[in-house]
Structure 1
Amino acid sequence: MDNSLRSTRLDGFFCELKRRKVYRVAAGYAVVSWLLIQVAATVFPPLEIPAWALRLLVVTILTGFPIALVLAWAFDVGAGGIQVTGPAAPADDCPPALKGKGRNLYVLAAVGTVVALGVGLIIWPRTVGRKPDKSIAVLPFDNLSNDPENAFFTDGLHDDVLTSLANVGDLKVISRTSVLPYRGKGHNMRDIGRALGVSAILEGSVRRSGNRIRLVVQLIDARTDQHLWAEDYDRDLTDVFAIQSALAQEIAGQLKAKLSADEKARLETKPTQSHDAYMLYVRARSLANGSDTEERKKAIPLLEQAIQLDPNFGLAYAQLSRLQSWIYFSIDPTPARLESARSAAEQAMRLQPDLAESHLAVGFFHYYGERDYDSALKEFNIARDGLPNDADVIRAIGAIQRRQGKWEKSTKSYRSAVSRSPKDPVLIRNLALNYIAARDYENAAKTFDKAVRLAPQDFEIKSLRAWVDVYWKGDFARFDKLLAESPEGPDTSPVAALARFNVQFFQRKFDDALASLARTPFENMRGETSAPLPKPFLAAQVHRAKGDAEQARRAYEQALPAAEQALAASPTDAARHALVGLIYAGLGRNQEAVASGRRAAEILPESKDAFNGPILIISLSRIFTMIGAHEEAISLLQKSLGTPGGITFHELRLDPTWDPLRNDPVFQQVLAREAAKKR
C-alpha cells in the first residue's frame, strides 16, 4: 500500500515536471549549452581569448542550469506573457510515457546533461591549456668560466644544441630569439612553459678550463616543474660536437620523439675538424644574429678567417653567403657584393650538398640577390627537410610566398614560425605586415601590439603600429603621442626622422616638416624600398605641396646627383629607378620621368613581386600626378586600391601628393566610393 502511494506521488511529480515544461527547458538548455561551448572552443583560440574564459563559460552554464529549472517550474510563458504556473493537475491525467520506463528515460536525460557539463568543467581546464608533449625550449646556458671570452663559446654551444634539435622533425623547438630573454636564474619554469607553449625545458651550465669542457644539463617538465632527466658531460674540448649530438639524441629519447636515420646521421656530422675555425665561426654567428648593421658586417672577416683555417668548412661558407646576400638586399646592391654571395653559396653546396644550411644559403642568394622566388622557395623547402623546426627557415618560406602573391599561405607560414619563436618582435612584425597588406587592420593592430610589448624601445615597430591607425581610421593620435614622447632635438635614427617627417607632411604641418629635416643629421633616409631618400628630395616634396615651385626645383636639383649616383651603382634596382623618375618629374623632365617610373615597374612588377611591386605602381602614379597626366594616375590608383599591399583610402584622402587630383570628378568618385565602403 505504501509503495503504491509513493509510486503514485512520484508519477504525479514527473507529470507536473512535464506540465510545467521543465523537461523541455532542460533539453533546450542542454542543446544551447553544448552549442555555446563548441562555438567558444572553436572561436576563442584564434582570437587569443584566455583559456580561463572558456572555463568561466562552463561554470556559468552549470550555475544557470538549476536556476533555469526552478524558473521553468515556477513560471510559464504564454499569450499573456510571463505568468505564475497554476495548480497541479491530477495524477491520473499523466501521460503513459511519463510512467515506468518512459519516466526513467527523462530522468536519465536530465541527470546526464548535468553530469556531462560537470565532467566538461573538470576535464576542460586540463585539455585546453595542454601543451604538445614533444615541445621544448632550451634556455641560454650559464657561463661558469672566469674568462669572459668563454661567453662566446657558451652561447655558441647553446646555438648548436638548438640547431641540432631543429633537425628532429618530431619535436617542436623554440627559437634562440625567444629563449634569450630568459637568460640567468630566477625564472619560474611553469611560467616559461606557458609563455613559450612548451611541455619541457632544458637548462644548463658550461664550465671551460683549458682543453676541458663540462656541460651540466637538466630536463624539466614545464607543466609540473619536475625534473625529468639530468646529465653531466665532462669531455675534452675536441669532443664538443659529440656532446651536442649525444645531448640532442638523449633529449629526443626523453621526449619520445622519433629520430630517423637521416636525422641521426646529420646530428653526428662534424661541421669542421678545426677547433679554431669553429670558434671564429661561433663569434661570427653571434655578430650576424644581431640587429645592428655595422656589427653584422664585422662577422664577414671572421668567417673568411675561419675558411682560411678550414677550406672545407661548408657551414662557414653558408653563413658568409647568407650575410653577403642580406647586405646586398638591404644596403649595398652592388655587383661585387652579389658575386661574393654567389661564390660562397656555390662553395657551400660543393662541399656539403646535403647540409640544410647550404640550401638555405642558395635560397637567400636567389631571394635577396636575384629575386628568383621560385628557385628560392625550392631551396628553402629542401632546407626545411633538414631543419623542420627552424623558425628562420619557415619565416623565409613565408617571405617568399607573399612575394609570390600567396598571401594566405604566407600568413599561415608566419604563424607557424611565430609558434616556434613567440618572443621575436621582428618575426611578429612581419606577420602584422601581412595583415596590413590584406587590409585586416584589426588583426594588424593586435599583432603589432604584441610586438610593441616585446620591444617597447623599438621605434620602428611602434611607428608601424601607429601607421595602422592611419590606414585604418585616418587617426594620427597614436603617432602624435609617439612623437611627443621622443627626446628633444634631432631624431636619433633615420627611421625616426623619416617617420616624423612623413606624419608632419600628411598632417600638412609643412614648416614643422622642413624644420625636422633641418635638424636631422642624416643626409639619406630609407623608406619602404631599398632606395636611399636624399634629404633634399624630401624637402622638395614639401616645397611643392606648399606651392613654392622655385624652392622645390632647387631642392630637386640638389637631390638628383646623389640619386643618379646610387642608380649607377645598382642599375637593376627598381626602387632607385623610381626615385630618379620622381626627381625628373619635379624638374619637368616628363618623358624621362615616365620612362624611369615604367622601368621600375617593369623590373619588379606586381606579378613578380606582390610585396614590393605595388609600391612601385604607387610611385608611377605619383609621377603621372606630378606631370599632369591625371587620367593615367587615377587609373593606376584605382587598381592599387584593390591590390593587397596597395594604397589605402586614407592615404589618398590625406596625402598632399594627391592634391592635384582632388578637383578631378573621377578622383572624387573614387574617394566617394571608398568612403561608402567604410560606413
Structure 2
Amino acid sequence: MISRTSVMSYRGNTRNVRDIGKALGVSAILEGSVRRAGNRVRVNVQLIDATNDEHLWAEDYDRDLTDVFAIQTDLAQKITSALQAKLSPSEKARIDRRPTQNPDAYLLFIQAHDYANRPDLFRDVVLKAEQLFEQATKLDPNFAAAFAGLSMVESWMYHSFDPLPPRREKARAAANEALRLQPDLPEAHLALGFSYYYGDRDYERALAEFDKAKRDLPNEAKAYLAIGAIQRRQGKWAESTANLEKAAALDPKDASVLLNLAFSYMATRNFEAADKTFDRGIEAAPQAFASRALKGELAIRWKGDVSVAEKELASTPPGIDPEGMVTLGRVAVLTFQRKFPEALQVIQQFREETLPGYSTAPCPKALVEGTLYSYLGDKAKAQAAFERALVVAEQLVRESPDDAARHATLGQILAGLGRKDAAIKEGKRAVELRPESQDAFDGPEITAALAQIYACTGERDQAFALLDHLLANPSGITVSLLQLDPVWDPLRNDPRFQALIDKYGAKT
C-alpha cells in the first residue's frame, strides 16, 4: 500500500487510473470523495483495477460524524475482501481498533499529520504541527497515535533547530506515553526510535525500535528512511542507499524521502543520480522550496555552475524568504561570483539577527557581513562585524554547549578576528563532539569547518591534510567547490592546492 503523501499528489488529477497505477507501482486504486455537512459525513468510494480500469467494488456512506471510524473499518474490511488479501492478526487488530473516541481530536491529529509531513519543514510549519498534536492529546489523553506524532515533531525540532535538553525530554516523554497507552503501536516505536536517534545519537537502540515498527508496517517508508539515515551516519553507505531507495519506492511522491536519497547521492558524489532525484522531488512537490534550492546547490558542487541556483532564486516571488533561505542563497551565489559589494547589499537588507546555518547552528548575520568585508579588504568593518557576530555565537554555544555545529561557527568567527588559538580550539572541540567515526554524514561538514579555520589562520599543512581526506571520502567538499569558494583563497597560491585539484578532478 502506498502512503497518503504520494497518493495526495494526484488529488484532483485528471490522469487515467492506469498511468497513476504505473507511476505508483500499485495494482489497484481507491478513489472517492468525502463531504461533511454539519454532523453528517458522506463518503463515496470505488476500488479500481489499475491494470485494466475495471471497477472491483464501490460503496456510498451517509452517516453521522461520530461513525467515521466505523466507516473506516468497514472500508478496510471490504477492500481487503475485494482484493482477496490476507491480513495478519496485528493488521486485523489495527483495522478494528479505533485510534480515539473523540472525532474532534482525530481531526486535529489529521491536520497535525499534514503539517508534519510537508516537504518544507520550516520552523513555523513544525510549530503548527506541534500545537495541533498537543491539542489532540488534550482532547483525548488516551490518544496514543497523537502522542507518537507529537514525539516525532519534538525530535525533529531538537535535531534541526532547537537542540536544547527540554525539547529532547519532551520528545522522549511523549514517545513513552504513546507506548504506555498502546504498547503494540508501530508509530510509537517509530517515535521512540527517533528520540534515541536524534536525541541521544544512540543508533543501536534507535535501530531496534525502527525494526519493531517495520515488522508491523512493512510498507512504511519512514521506517526504511530512518534506518537508511542511521546507516549512512555509521558509514554503511551501500546499505543506507538500498534502504533509502526502498523508502522512495514505497513512497515515490514523498519529496522529503527523495531529498534524503539525493543527499546520500551527493555525499557519495553520484551527482547524476542526485540530479535526477531532485527532479523527482520537484515533480512531486512543485511549490516546495527545498528541492529547487538543493538542485541549484548540486550544480555548484558538481560543475561549479551557479546559473541553476540563479534561475531558481530569480523565480522566487518578491517578499518570499522563508527563514532567510532566499537571502542566504543570493548571498552565496554573488559570493561565488565574487560580487562582494552586491552580496553585502543583499545581506544588509535582511532584518533578522541570524540566518539558517549548518545543522543546528544559526548563522549570525554579522558573520556573513564580516566575511564579505574581509574579502573586500576592509579590515576595520570586518573586525566590527565579527565582534558583533561573536556575541551572538557565544550565546548560542552557552544555550547548547554540546552542539558541534555551534562550536564550529564560533571557531570561524574567532578565526576572522585573528584569534588563532581560540579559533582552532573551538574547531577541534566541534570535531570532538561530532567525529566522523561516529557520524560519517554530518561529521565531514564539521571537519570541513575546521579545515576552513586552519586555512584562515595560516595553518596550511593541517588544512591540506583535511581537504585531502574530505575529497577522498563521502563529504560535501568537491573540486568544483574548492575552485569556486573564496574561503579557500588563502590556500590557492600554494602548489598543493592545484595538486589536490589535479588528483581529484579526474575522478569527479
TMscore range, shorter length: over 0.9
Q: Supply the RMSD in Å over aligned alpha carbons.
A: 2.3
Q: Does 1:499 align with 2:329?
A: yes
CA distance in 2, matches of 1:267, 1:183: 24
- C-alpha change, 1:559 and 1:479, in structure 2 (3 Å) is same
1:143-163, Cα deviation, whole Å (9 max, x unpaired)? xxxxxxxxxxxxxxxxxxxxx
Query: How does 1:473-488 map onto structure 2 within 5 Å?
Result: 473-487=303-317
Mapped contact 2:161–2:359 kept (Cα < 8 A): no
1:634 alignment partner, one of 432, 444, 464: 464
CA distance in 1, matches of 2:223, 2:410: 35
Mapped contact 2:9–2:284 kept (Cα < 8 A): no
Query: How does 1:201-280 map onto structure 2 within 5 Å?
Result: 201-208=29-36, 212-280=40-108
- C-alpha change, 1:550 and 1:303, in structure 2 (3 Å) is same
For 1:248, the aligned partner's letter is A
CA distance in 2, matches of 1:254, 1:342: 41
Q: Offset at 1:262?
A: 2.2
1:48-74, Cα deviation, whole Å (9 max, x unpaired)? xxxxxxxxxxxxxxxxxxxxxxxxxxx
For 2:230, the aligned partner's letter is I
1:348-372, Cα deviation, whole Å (9 max, x unpaired)? 1222121101101101111222222
Query: How does 1:442-591 map onto structure 2 within 5 Å?
Result: 442-487=272-317, 494-591=324-421
For 1:442, the aligned partner's letter is E
Mapped contact 1:525–1:533 kept (Cα < 8 A): yes
1:277-318, Cα deviation, whole Å (9 max, x unpaired)? 333333333333344532432343443343334332221211
- C-alpha change, 1:434 and 1:677, in structure 2 (3 Å) is closer
1:294 alignment partner, one of 117, 124, 132: 124
Mapped contact 1:491–1:520 kept (Cα < 8 A): no
TM-score (norm 2): 0.93
**Secondary structure of the equivalent of 1:443?**
helix
Percent identical among aligned pairs is 52
Query: How does 1:639-654 map onto structure 2 within 5 Å?
Result: 639-654=469-484
Q: Offset at 1:583?
A: 0.9
Gaps of 5+ in 1: 1-172
CA distance in 1, matches of 2:375, 2:332: 13
CA distance in 2, matches of 1:300, 1:425: 21
2:113 alignment partner, one of 285, 302, 305: 285
CA distance in 2, matches of 1:622, 1:252: 58
Greater Rg, structure 1 or structure 2? 1
Match of 1:83 in 2: none
**Secondary structure of the equivalent of 2:60?**
strand
1:146-192, Cα deviation, whole Å (9 max, x unpaired)? xxxxxxxxxxxxxxxxxxxxxxxxxxx12212222322374422232
CA distance in 2, matches of 1:185, 1:470: 35
How many residues align? The count is: 506
Match of 2:10 in 1: 182
Q: Does 1:421 align with 2:251?
A: yes
1:636-660, Cα deviation, whole Å (9 max, x unpaired)? 1111111112411111122111111
Mapped contact 2:358–2:405 kept (Cα < 8 A): no
For 2:499, the aligned partner's letter is Q
Mapped contact 1:289–1:296 kept (Cα < 8 A): no
For 1:338, the aligned partner's letter is R
1:315 alignment partner, one of 145, 149, 153: 145
1:655-679, Cα deviation, whole Å (9 max, x unpaired)? 111111123233332223223445x
CA distance in 2, matches of 1:351, 1:547: 62
1:401 alignment partner, one of 207, 214, 231: 231
1:345-394, Cα deviation, whole Å (9 max, x unpaired)? 11112221211011011011112222222221221111111111122222
Q: Offset at 1:581?
A: 0.9
CA distance in 1, matches of 2:261, 2:91: 30
Match of 2:425 in 1: 595
CA distance in 2, matches of 1:287, 1:677: 41
1:597-656, Cα deviation, whole Å (9 max, x unpaired)? 111111111121111100000001111111111111111111111111241111112211
1:196 alignment partner, one of 24, 29, 36: 24
Gaps of 5+ in 2: none
- C-alpha change, 1:304 and 1:205, in structure 2 (3 Å) is same
CA distance in 2, matches of 1:388, 1:571: 39
Mapped contact 1:460–1:496 kept (Cα < 8 A): no
Q: Which is bigger in relative contact order (C-alpha 8 A, separation at least 6)? A: 2
Mapped contact 1:479–1:503 kept (Cα < 8 A): yes
More moved, 609-618 vs 367-376: 367-376
Mapped contact 2:232–2:440 kept (Cα < 8 A): yes
CA distance in 1, matches of 2:151, 2:315: 40
For 1:430, the aligned partner's letter is N
CA distance in 1, matches of 2:317, 2:98: 50
Match of 1:92 in 2: none
TM-score (norm 1): 0.70
For 2:25, the aligned partner's letter is G
More moved, 618-627 vs 179-188: 179-188
CA distance in 1, matches of 2:315, 2:134: 43
Mapped contact 1:469–1:476 kept (Cα < 8 A): yes
Mapped contact 2:323–2:355 kept (Cα < 8 A): no
**Secondary structure of the equivalent of 2:338?**
coil
